[in-house]
Amino acid sequence: MNSPHLRKGSKKPPVAAKGKLRLYSNRFCPYSQRIMLVLDAKKIAYDVVNINLYSKPDWYYDISPLGKIPALELEQGDVLYESLIIADYLDEKYRAHHLHNPDPLQKAKDRLLIEEFNRVVNAMTKILTSIGRVNLDDDQVIANGLTNFERELHNRGTAYFGGTKPGMLDLMIWPWCERAEILKIFGNSNLLKKDKYRNLLEWCKRMTEESTIKRSMMESATHIKYLQSYRAGRPDYDMILNSSD
């Protein structure tokens, strides 16, 4: 995971070791983090090849025709992409540590909530990647979305959306919740009110204490530093490797 991001002109890496899946990823991509969370939660052996999204290697298009990440290369050579499709495949293929709710109706309801969360994702992306004017409509979309999830967690009365431990819904929304604190700097500093999202904030704290989450989690300061480089037009994907700290 602590390898540099491969770019145009780089050599294609050798095949993954026997018994391992290969995840083509990017250190700062929340969609890739989704798959790391699933792989770690299910204790599946894998390695990571990081891809520079501004200068993708030519050979990568032979693996992922649209150049998308994440892409998961299976042992038999097949490749899957789109984070939700990969996550569902992994949960069905590897039955240990099942993440989806076993009840078909609850599983469907959780999938609807993941789709609903996409509105929050899109609004966050616009706020964090735009420079200058902030659209108040995006703030409202995020506030409404978080309110719905706050209510959902309260109604379930459980520590996690998945019950006593994080399930698929928890893992699919976590990467953006991990990044939520940076909205206070690049968005509306009043957006995340403690009294309004008490259950969600307690959920966030519990999530950060989970070993599965810790493996891919980065501090807000790291996300902020990367985002500053992105907004300056020079995304520093290898800033962690280049750090002298």
Provide the token pair at 167. Answer: 């399930």
User: Any idea which residues carry the catalytic annotation?
Assistant: 29
Q: Is 216 exposed, middle or buried (0-12, 13-18, 19+ CB in 10 A)?
A: buried
What per-residue string of b and e applies to 187-211 under the rule 16 or more CB within 10 Å gives b?
Answer: bbeebbeeeebebbbebbeebeebe
Is residue 38 a contact partner of residue 169, using CB atoms and an 8 Å limit? Answer: no
Separation CA 241–CA 222 (nearest Å): 12
| Secondary structure of residue 201 in the 3-state scheme | helix
**DSSP code at position 134:** P
Is residue 49 a contact partner of residue 35, using CB atoms and an 8 Å limit? Answer: no
Angle at 162 between CA 160 and CA 168, to 5 degrees: 115
